[in-house]
Structure 1
Amino acid sequence: MINFNGKLQENNIVISNNNRGYSYGDGLFETIKAVHGKLLFFEDHYFRLMASMRILRMEIPMNFTMEYIEEQIKQTIDANNLAEQSARVKIQIDRVEGGLYLPDSNDVNFMISVKAIDADFYLLNEAKYEVDLYKDHYLSPSLITTLKTNNKIVNVIGSIYAKENRLDSCLLINTNKSVVEALSGNLFLVKGNTIKTPPLTDGCLKGVLRKQLMEIIKLIPEYTLEETSISPFELQKADELFTTNVIKGIQPITKYRKKEFKNEVSKKLLQKLNVKVRLG
């Protein structure tokens, strides 16, 4: 079952060829982890969604309160019998049909879908996870690249490139030749007691788990957090590399080209992240 504009219906809806999210990429999405009906970091997700809609000049409906969106998500979870396990929740927003590049209206549709996932808490995946740079296409840093819009074609073809080259993921580069993020998560680099992550001005996604982890790192006296550009040359000199997203948590990178990495810091941070999840 999916939730389309507040109405539960079978998961076989066919979109019109005039759907603006399909025709022009005129839409955005939000991915949330739900654990036994609890929405992790929901407030951050909600405010990112509202901010993104404002940036895209979408009309935010009067009833789009935090309570309303949360209730719609939980109704969808219940309708799919997933209230007693963990689920991946996806909220999709697109501008209503009408117009060409210039829309006839800034009103929106929303759709909520859910899918069962295995892990309740975040687990450390210590299996091989090899990455390389994806250099066929670059990200152009702007406010738009920090949003979760439907325009993710670089991530799509980058994922195909990774599969073709037997990689687990790739790291994306911006037009200034700085490393921005991974295909499906924000990037962190550990060197000694310094932990670096690219700034939003480099074009990385304004990740919800990125924010949570930055807050955790700032509370650990032995580490210094730096939001700063990362050069490709720094990758092989790093002690650790890891990526983050709200579904997997922290994903340690085990190998970049000929360099292999440890996961001591990512393991410590993951423990603190799970404490934050339990207390939250």
Structure 2
Amino acid sequence: MVNFNGTLLENENAFLDPSNRGLHYGDALFETIKVSGGKILFWEDHYFRLMASMRILRMEIPMTFTLEFLEEQIFKTLRAKSQLSNTFRVKLLVWRKVGGKYTPKDRDVEFLISYEEITTPFYILEESFYEIELFKDHYITSGLLSTLKSNNRIINVLGSIYAEENEYDNCLLLNENKQVVEALNGNIFLVNGYKIKTPPLNDGCLNGILRKQIIAILGQMPDYILEETSVSPFELQKADELFITNVIQGIRPVSKYRKKEYSNAVVKELLAKLNVKARMG
């Protein structure tokens, strides 16, 4: 079941115009959202990130695209086939309407909401072995566009293929300055004693929803100092802990990078506070 511009369609009846601009030019944005127990986690953050991203891409934001309207469209989609008490991974995709080549004829947008059920209503500690490596075949370009959740994710696709072929669980992406930017599916944090470091947005990392939550939580923890500064690959093997954040999994501790193995004590502290934050809104 998907929601196409407010109309519910069975998956097999869903279609895209063959001139779809998201397909042809990558002229699209998306939000990946976790819904648990009838609640959209961090919904205001998702909504305002989407609105800001649409403005940056010069999309025309419909008057109907209010926080309440899109929330209702998400729940309308979920209610059609599922129990709202379940847990879902929802994808809200927005693209500019058909017309034009590189220069669009119409800056208005269309949207699609799809979902899949998942099994973890809360954020849990994953303690299974998790090994990562650098992906160095291609680089993210630092700057504002790289911080957006656009559908231009070919580097993430190629990095994921590389990880699978080489039996890694994830890879870290670099920018053109050879600084560590993010993981294939989330933001990266390094723990070194009482200092916790994450790459800044101007290095090209995704403006992640969970990244924002973790930064806010750390701001309330006096035992730690957070630094948003560039991360060199050489720093990875000096860290006590590495962890990856995204809105679906929460916090994923890294077990090993090359010859270095990591603990997860800080992750355990943060997970407890993250679940409280998620329940509170």
**TMscore range, shorter length:** over 0.9
Q: Quick one: which amino acid aligns to residue 15 of structure 1?
A: L
Deviation of 1:136 after TM superposition, in Å, equals 0.2
Aligned match of 1:8: 8
Deviation of 1:194 after TM superposition, in Å, equals 0.2
Q: Quick one: which amino acid aligns to residue 158 of structure 2?
A: I
Q: Deviations over 1:74-117 (max 9, x none)?
A: 11111121311100010000111111111110011100011100
CA distance in 1, matches of 2:55, 2:99: 19
CA distance in 2, matches of 1:259, 1:72: 46
* RMSD value, Cα: 0.7
Q: Quick one: which amino acid aligns to residue 208 of structure 1?
A: I
3-state DSSP of counterpart to 2:79: helix
Give the alignment of 1:10-159 within 5 angstroms.
10-12=10-12, 13-159=14-160
Aligned match of 1:173: 174
3-state DSSP of counterpart to 2:11: coil
Q: Which moved more, 1:193-202 or 1:8-17?
A: 8-17
- Is there any run of 5+ residues in structure 2 with no aligned partner, and where? none
Q: Quick one: which amino acid aligns to residue 264 of structure 2?
A: N
Contact 1:26 1:95 in 2 (8 A): yes
CA distance in 1, matches of 2:57, 2:26: 11
CA distance in 2, matches of 1:82, 1:182: 33
Q: Which moved more, 1:224-233 or 1:8-17?
A: 8-17
Moved over 2 A (4+): none
Q: Deviations over 1:45-76 (max 9, x none)?
A: 00000001001100000010000010101111
3-state DSSP of counterpart to 2:120: coil
CA distance in 2, matches of 1:113, 1:14: 13
3-state DSSP of counterpart to 1:180: strand
Give the alignment of 1:199-214 within 5 angstroms.
199-214=200-215
CA distance in 1, matches of 2:9, 2:280: 34
Q: Quick one: which amino acid aligns to residue 151 of structure 2?
A: N
CA distance in 2, matches of 1:211, 1:122: 16
Aligned match of 1:258: 259
CA distance in 2, matches of 1:98, 1:88: 31
Deviation of 1:278 after TM superposition, in Å, equals 2.1
Confirm or deny that 1:240 pairs with 2:241: yes
Q: TM-score, normalised by structure 2?
A: 0.98
Q: Quick one: which amino acid aligns to residue 68 of structure 1?
A: F
- Is there any run of 5+ residues in structure 1 with no aligned partner, and where? none
Contact 1:29 1:92 in 2 (8 A): yes
CA distance in 2, matches of 1:147, 1:79: 30
Q: Quick one: which amino acid aligns to residue 257 of structure 1?
A: R
Contact 1:37 1:77 in 2 (8 A): no
Contact 1:36 1:82 in 2 (8 A): no
Number of aligned residue pairs? 280
CA distance in 2, matches of 1:80, 1:197: 40
Q: Quick one: which amino acid aligns to residue 104 of structure 1?
A: K
Q: Deviations over 1:130-174 (max 9, x none)?
A: 000000001111111000101000000000000000000000000
Q: TM-score, normalised by structure 1?
A: 0.99
Contact 1:88 1:116 in 2 (8 A): yes
